[in-house]
Amino acid sequence: MRKTFLAGNWKMNYTSAEASIVAKKIATEVKALKDDFVIMIAPPFTALSKVSECIKGSNILLGAQNMSYMESGARTSEISPSMLLEFGVEYVILGHSECRLYLAETDEIINKKILTGLKHSFKYLILCVGETLDERDSGKTLDVVLNQVKKGLDGVSESDIKRIILAYEPVWAIGTGKTATKEEAEEVHRAIRLEIMKLYSKSASDNIIIQYGGSVNSSNVKELMNEPNIDGALIGGASLKAESFLSIINNVC
């Protein structure tokens, strides 16, 4: 049985003090969770230490928004796996469309990060994939998304795929207020699951968690989660306010 996984990506928002206030409120409000339900927040790097303290002993897990594929060395501005683990990070988001766009991360770089992350004791790595509006309008959605899946997972073994979560985030729906319809999202999620079966096995396909991301909010999350191949959400703007994130959680849990 796949778990329902809701993750809040806070992006470049909040000082450590501001992040602590929001994290404390979420951690305090989220009490008992079903066994098949997981909640994670990924604050900025500068807030990881404080947020880690705020959610300690709660039902909220700690994630990071990116990671270098280098263990150490001459990589100014980057952060290594061991640095993240020191703060108690259990999940790492990799290949987000904003990193692909603004930081020029290629599929090859993202794959290196996946392979490096698997060498460390992170619980899960979240591989983000998604198409632009031009690619969707050109009918290339599945070609683009499945190619990103294949290249991102190159060299990942059958045993290691168990530590990968996939997140389908159509670029045209991120921060725009536009959301893929439940049918559009389900079509891509189903295709991704079938691709995992081709690359690995039916067991891997049945068990891998695939999240949807792209202007998810309390009004649309439930109908998205009701689709058979959508297992959770990677939430941006709506996770920044404790009230809106809690509303999403309450609508699903």
Residue 96 known to be catalytic: yes
Q: Do 52 and 62 meet the contact criterion of CB atoms below 8 Å apart?
A: yes
User: Per DSSP, what are the bridge partners of residue 62?
Assistant: 41
Q: How far is Cα 188 from Cα 170, in angstroms, rounded to an integer?
A: 10
Residue 169 known to be catalytic: yes
At residue 191, what are phi and psi to the nearest 5 degrees? -65, -40
Residue type, 173: A
Q: Do 87 and 62 meet the contact criterion of CB atoms below 8 Å apart?
A: yes
Q: Which one of 98, 105, 169, 195 is the catalytic residue?
A: 169
Q: Which one of 96, 105, 131, 189 is the catalytic residue?
A: 96
Which value, to the nearest 10 degrees, does the dihedral of the CA atoms of residues 156, 192, 62, 22 take?
Answer: 160
Q: Can you say whether the dihedral through the CA atoms of 192, 85, 81, 170 is positive or negative?
A: positive
Residues annotated as part of the active site: 96, 169
